[in-house]
Amino acid sequence: MDTLPYWKDDACNAVANRTDGTLFPPPIKESKVMQVFYPEFCRSRNYKFEMYVISHDLKGMRFRIPPSFMESPAKNPENWCFCPYEEISRCGWDGIEYLTPCHEGAYFSHTRINSDLSCSICNNLLLPTLSHDFSIFLYNCTI
């Protein structure tokens, strides 16, 4: 499968040239964007280099999803095609991922929802609203 049927744009439905996150082809460079497809979320996530790390005397690289990934379409227009509604303003909450097209009305929250925020979707969240940090740590191995 090269594309998904869920989203409003071909770029948002793209699956081709993504990894499942278990293997990353070399070379791994700071400039490389790690594109990982997650079937549970019906979309890919792009991890960008953040910093070098050292663990157990091994030098590695930390890649993270940028904060703009979970911004509302009003803040990040690139996310417009992941809003399942015709009226984009209905997808106005940062940190909420709309999984309705592929999970029958489900939502997923990546960030804490402000306690004074009253929204109609909060009761349908797929998981509790917790602070999440999506990172990948990669270490070059030689044999």
Q: Does residue 4 form part of some domain?
A: no
Question: Is residue 1 in a domain?
Answer: no
Phi, psi for 32 (deg, rounded to 5): -80, 135
Domain annotation covers residue 3: no
Predicted pLDDT at 108: 67
Q: Is the dihedral of CA 49, 113, 132, 84 positive or negative?
A: negative
Segments forming the whole domain that contains residue 135? 10-139
Global model pTM greater than 0.85: no
Hey, CA dihedral for 98, 102, 106, 111, is it positive or negative? negative
Tokens representing 30 are 């700071």
Give the amino acid at 39.
P
Structure tokens at 111: 């960030």
- The answer to the question of residue 121 being in a domain is yes
Tally of structural domains, the chain: 1
H or E element: which one contains 63? strand 58-64
Q: Confirm whether 28 is domain-assigned.
A: yes
pLDDT at 14: 86
Inter-residue contact 82 to 90 (CB < 8 Å): no
H or E stretch at 12: helix 10-13
In a domain, 26, yes or no: yes
pLDDT in tens, the chain (143 residues): 688 888 999 988 888 777 777 777 778 889 988 888 888 888 888 899 999 999 888 899 999 988 888 888 989 999 999 988 888 888 888 877 788 788 876 766 555 443 334 455 555 554 444 455 678 888 876 54
pLDDT at position 18: 77
pLDDT at 113: 43
**pLDDT at position 61:** 93
Residue 113 lies in a domain: yes
Q: Note whether residue 71 is domain-resident.
A: yes
